[in-house]
Amino acid sequence: MAFKRSIATQALDVDDLAAFSCCTGADDPPWIREAENYIRVAALRHAGFVLAFRDDHGVLAAVSAFDLRDIHIPMSAPAPQPGWHLQVLALATGYQGKEHSADIFMQTFDEMRAIASERVLVTANVHNQHAVSIAAAARVGLTYLLPKDEQYTVLLGEVPEPPS
């Protein structure tokens, strides 16, 4: 299934984002509920860019949000590198477990390149216990950089070039 990507706007997408669900129920861990709440309430106001991914029927299937960010890679004399920070990437419950995350990541990277191709680094914060997200991020080249705090890890990777 191919998803149609668009930049989300207040006028066109606020209702669908407010109803977005990536949680399967009350037993979901807090970091999944946190992502869902961010998409529903804050993404359009706080993220620099929000992407809506819709299926063939126009149903909101996934969301990603990201910002321009200077990235400081720890080393002896770190210099800020222009890059991106992925705020959230989530699939709606009906699309989870079907190997769609790589497509959503790649389309998000495509949009990043279209906005500012000179920015090649990307970071993301992931909860240390969210094995599914850690594995999905690793499959597209985002790997461990450093701990953010006791619960979250900062991942780092490059925005990949499109396949030739």
Superfamily for the 4-158 domain: Gcn5-related N-acetyltransferase (GNAT) (3.40.630.30)
CB 88 within 8 A of CB 125: no
Percent of the chain residues topping a pLDDT of 90: 82
Structure tokens, 36: 């869902």
3-state secondary structure 45-72: HHCCEEEEEECCCCCEEEEEEEEEEEEC
Sheet of 143-147, strands arranged across = 4-7, 49-54, 60-71, 81-91, 121-127, 152-158, 143-147
pLDDT reading at 97 higher than 90: no
Closest CA to 104 of 66, 143, 63: 63
- Residue-range domain boundaries for the chain: 4-158
Mean pLDDT of 24-53: 93
Each residue's pLDDT tens digit, 110-142:
999 999 999 999 999 999 999 999 999 999 999
| 43, amino acid identity | A
Indicate the range of 5-14, 46-55, 95-104 predicted with least confidence.
95-104
